[in-house]
Amino acid sequence: MNVKEKEIEYVKNGKRVDGRKIDELRPIKIDVGVIDRADGSCYLEWGQNKIMAAVYGPREALPKHIQNPYRALVNYHYRMATFSVPDRKSPKPGRREMEISKVSGEALEKAIFLEKYPNTTIDVFVEILDSNAGTRVAGLAAASVALADAGIPMKDIVAAVGVGKIAGEVVLDLNKTEEDAPDAVDIPIAILPRTEEIVLLQMDGLLKLDEWKKALKMGIEGCKKVYELQKTALRKAYLEAEKEEKVKENAK
């Protein structure tokens, strides 16, 4: 397949295979506080991706020998359900899941005021119920909302998105069809939006310098779009909680 054929298949007249523009996100839905027994939780739909995130803690780090007297430990657990992909996945965590858990946990550490909670752990569980490309950034976005729901103080919410290249075009938020394109480049990126500090950046593929500059700018702008959706979801949840409290007080 030559480059011209790829352009016809993946990008035509500025539109992609699913009808989106080059810099358009897939539809995103965020619900806050969906797990009663968790300290904070979030359910997120991002295109076909469906993700549940739950936060527990800060709580005492056990066994005691893992405790850090200066800061909390962040344990990030990224898992894909066995039914989340077309071919049944092994329930045992694979290398990819362990790698995503590590880099995502490190990204959240940049946002949390860890020094406020010495000798504790903050456990973050992210379960992918349905997968369709970009699950690491979607999971990180959901986890950050769950942390905010848990009331854990942070410098900012971590916002994340995927950006990349298909058929010679730099595009935002690749779906599965685009991610599987022969020449696809995938770049997960996460930032603290107010300062634009990058807390996660990976690249699968190669870009020219001008393409990289365009991708970085598009990725930061995409993260800020996700950030607005995260804040809106949190604001809605807190307003609803406030209304419920007022109803209870009036009932007394």
Output the domain CATH number for residue 219.
3.30.230.70
Burial (CB < 10 A; 0-12, 13-18, 19+), residue 127, is middle
Query: Is residue 175 a contact partner of residue 47, using CB atoms and an 8 Å limit?
Result: yes
Structural domain boundaries enclosing 170: 3-251
Distances in whole angstroms, Cα of residue 88 to Cα of each of 85, 91, 130, 176, 219: 6, 9, 12, 17, 32
pLDDT at 17: 86
**Would you state the pLDDT for residue 2?**
43
Low-confidence ranges of the chain (pLDDT < 50): 1-8
Instruction: Tally the domains of the chain.
Output: 1
Which pLDDT value is given to residue 9? 65
**What's the burial of 145, exposed, middle or buried (CB within 10 Å: 0-12/13-18/19+)?**
buried
Residue 213: what pLDDT?
Answer: 96
Residue 19, Ramachandran bin (φ over 0: left; ψ between -120 and 50: alpha; else beta): left
Give residue 181's pLDDT. Answer: 86
| pLDDT at 7 (0 to 100) | 44
- Residue carrying the six token digits 């909680």: 241
Please write the tens of the pLDDT for every residue from 136-195. 999 999 999 999 999 999 999 999 999 999 988 999 999 999 998 888 999 999 999 999
Residue 1 has what pLDDT? 40
